[in-house]
Structure 1
Amino acid sequence: MQSEGNGKNGQAATRVRKEHFWLMTICLLILAMVAIAMVLHYTQTIMIPFVLSIFIVSLVSPLLDYQVIKLKFNRTMAVCITLLVVLTVIVATCLAVSEAVQTVVSTVKPYMDSVETFTDKVFVQFEEWGLDLSQDSVMEELRKKIPNLVTDTFDTVMGFVSSFVLVSIFVIFLLSGRNPHVIRKGVYADIDNGIRRYIGTKVIISSITGVLVYIILRVLGLELAAVFGMLAFLLNFIPSVGSIIATFLPLPVAVAQFQNFWMISLAIVLPGAVQMTVGNVIEPKLLGRGLDLHPVTVLMALAFWGLLWGVAGMFLAVPITAVIRIVLMQFDTLQPVGRLLSGELPGSSDTGEKSAKGEAERRAG
């Protein structure tokens, strides 16, 4: 009896020690996350271009490796060619975004008259329904908000464009320091392959989405169709939230231009159908398990990195979180946290076995 009691006491003491261990681990993780978040927020001017350059290099590194290993190019020449391709894409993107913003800014004022005409009809309808709204105050608020919104958007975009100078510098050094003959294994290979696949697939899917949105709006006769197609391409890199924003962006222009319920509806519904089809049918098939992040994890990552780094953080949220998960899965102590990011609750043996099997299959693949 006494030995039985000692055994139970020993098990209870072991359980208490494990609980204390996990509490200490969780507290240390929270403190570390707070400290790291403060550092990342304070150094965002440098860290955002640096992280973005890492992802760019990860995407274009196969081009550099192919030139050196298969085509037998000189390493310096291969770096220069790869860098030229990267800079060409960056400059073209910056010019396109800048032109799009300038086009929107130049067309805002002419559309204000059309918006006022349409809103007059809307307020008349509200009055017929017995709703008493102050039209003058609403229009005054619109006049104040729209120019400020355009200016803020322009400042954000131009700040993002200017950061590409630092991105270019980082890309130059990262490409110069890469050795194509080194075979990468382990966690580095997992990160490199996973991020490359995700970004490459996202570029293809976003391009298809942008082109389809442009064609639809062009056929409908909507002005600024090219601008909205480009915005659909860019916003598609922000999971879930980006496609919703891109769907409703043409609404003000459609209201001002068509002033017809059915045409306005088509300008929203048809691009929305494209976004839903591509995002919910085509993209999952191309990505497969993807980066193995739960949808709730993705939304939380968008909120966290958006709060930390703004718009740029929302673009980088998913790949950064995926890298964090891959790193966490390398440590036995932190594996439950990594599994939690993929939607597996701690304490489930089945999910743990499935996760371990999935990790093994992914590495083997």
Structure 2
Amino acid sequence: MDKLRTTNYLLLIIVIPILFYLLKVLSFIFIPLFFSMFVALLFLPLMRFLKRRGVHKIISICIVILIIILGVKLGVELVKLSSKQIMESNSSFFLKAQTKVNHLVYEIESVFGEDAIEDDNAKLSRFLNKDAIFNNFGSTLTIVSKTLTALLMTIFFIVLWLAESINIENLLNKTLLKKRHQSIKTFIKIENDLIKFIKVKVLVSFLTGVFTGLACYFFDVSFPIFWGLFSFLINFVQMVGSFATVILLSIFAFVELEASSTLFFFILAIAGTQVLYGSILEPIFMGKSFSINVITVLVSLMFWGFIWGVPGLIMAIPITVFFKIILEQFPSTRGLAKLLSAG
């Protein structure tokens, strides 16, 4: 028995690194697969509503795909609008930013005893020059091609999830749990918790983006549509997204606004928005199902961010919750599941 247990541990040690390697190498498949699962879960209540109304499954799937396409189109239009605002902006902001940052560098160098020339415009001009910023984005064709490929694969997997060609319940029943009743119970918990997470996250991110954009508009900070869209998207990255929004927008506002009460109240407004929605309302709406401790969140973000980059950061928490629910089903791993939980 001891030899068998030792063999199993050795096999586990060998299999886990191989599994992680495959997740990284085959990320072009796994990222759309997992992301499509979360999108399909978001629309699962709508599918069930249409089914109760007697709508055929194929028509229901077409309706969902149409909604997704309209949502993507809306996002593209917002990106185009924000890009147009940035492109059409005059160079006064970039000149002001260059002067202000150069002056700040001069002051810092003076404090540390370095020789500095305050009017050295060459220091940061290459970074703050509008044409240079847009020319350094790389090949637009490559970016568009990869995005389109990922989008098409995601839509393809969404159709498979909604058509139940990929069935998590059957997968759990045939692999991990091997008990029909336990598989159904576990699947229902996974489904309910993830649907709640996705709904709350989308709502909170939307409200955060709207209020961030409105704050930029009322305090006369440039590019409110861009900052609202940026705040909406990065808010899907747990914890890190809120800090990134406040820090980047504060730096941007510091460059554009004078150091006065206006700047102070603007930073207070965007920080208050992040605290209100991210630290107060979101945990209330989520409930105890997502009570994951801070260390688990950070480790999860680092791990999935390393494996899958930005998409991994976005999906890190729901994937962690998925595995936490699975671990809770076995007496031998319930201790590990409690270790992941907060409190």
TM > 0.5 fold call? yes
Alignment of 1:151-162 (within 5 A): 151-152=136-137, 159-160=146-147, 162=149
Identify if the C-alpha distance between structure 1 residues 145 and 151 changes in structure 2 by more than 3 Å, giving closer, same or farther.
Answer: same
CA deviation map 1:141-183 (0-9, x unaligned): 634556569845997975556522211121122223379xx99
Contact 1:160 1:312 in 2 (8 A): no
Q: Which residue of structure 1 lines up, in the alignment, with residue 242 of structure 2?
A: 243
CA deviation map 1:336-363 (0-9, x unaligned): 222222157xxxxxxxxxxxxxxxxxxx
Contact 2:106 2:118 in 1 (8 A): no
Q: Which residue of structure 2 lines up, in the alignment, with residue 305 of structure 1?
A: 304
**Identity over aligned residues, as a percent?**
22
Report deviation, 1:220: 0.4
Corresponding residue to 2:59 among 71, 77, 84 = 77
Distance in 1 (CA, whole Å) between partners of 2:331 and 2:114 is: 64
Amino acid at match of 2:336: V
Corresponding residue to 1:166 among 132, 149, 153 = 153
Report deviation, 1:250: 2.2
Distance in 2 (CA, whole Å) between partners of 1:102 and 1:151 is: 17
Contact 2:102 2:118 in 1 (8 A): no
State the SS of the aligned residue for 1:290: helix
Report deviation, 1:135: 5.0
Identify if the C-alpha distance between structure 1 residues 283 and 42 changes in structure 2 by more than 3 Å, giving closer, same or farther.
Answer: same
State the SS of the aligned residue for 2:98: helix
Identify if the C-alpha distance between structure 1 residues 224 and 135 changes in structure 2 by more than 3 Å, giving closer, same or farther.
Answer: farther
Of structures 1 and 2, the larger Rg is shown by: 1
Task: Provide TM-score, normalisation by structure 1.
Answer: 0.76
Amino acid at match of 1:332: P
Corresponding residue to 2:164 among 177, 182, 197 = 177
Are 2:38 and 1:39 aligned? no
Alignment of 1:1-365 (within 5 A): 29-69=12-52, 71-97=53-79, 99-100=81-82, 103-104=85-86, 111-122=93-104, 125=107, 131-132=113-114, 134=116, 140=122, 142-145=124-127, 147=132, 151-152=136-137, 159-160=146-147, 162-177=149-164, 185-343=184-342
Identify if the C-alpha distance between structure 1 residues 67 and 225 changes in structure 2 by more than 3 Å, giving closer, same or farther.
Answer: same
Report deviation, 1:39: 0.4
Provide the alpha-carbon RMSD of the alignment: 3.6
Amino acid at match of 1:75: K
Amino acid at match of 2:281: I
Distance in 2 (CA, whole Å) between partners of 1:299 and 1:149 is: 32
Number of aligned residue pairs: give it. Answer: 325
Q: Which residue of structure 2 lines up, in the alignment, with residue 353 of structure 1?
A: none
Report deviation, 1:96: 2.7
State the SS of the aligned residue for 2:254: helix
Amino acid at match of 2:328: M
Distance in 1 (CA, whole Å) between partners of 2:118 and 2:279 is: 43
Distance in 1 (CA, whole Å) between partners of 2:16 and 2:24 is: 12
Contact 1:64 1:79 in 2 (8 A): yes
CA deviation map 1:240-268 (0-9, x unaligned): 11001011222354234324344333332
Distance in 2 (CA, whole Å) between partners of 1:246 and 1:199 is: 20
Report deviation, 1:133: 5.2
Distance in 1 (CA, whole Å) between partners of 2:286 and 2:120 is: 45
Contact 1:123 1:135 in 2 (8 A): no
- Structure 2 residue runs without a partner (length 5+): 170-180
Task: Provide TM-score, normalisation by structure 2.
Answer: 0.81
Distance in 1 (CA, whole Å) between partners of 2:143 and 2:81 is: 11
Report deviation, 1:237: 0.9
State the SS of the aligned residue for 1:239: coil
Amino acid at match of 2:16: M
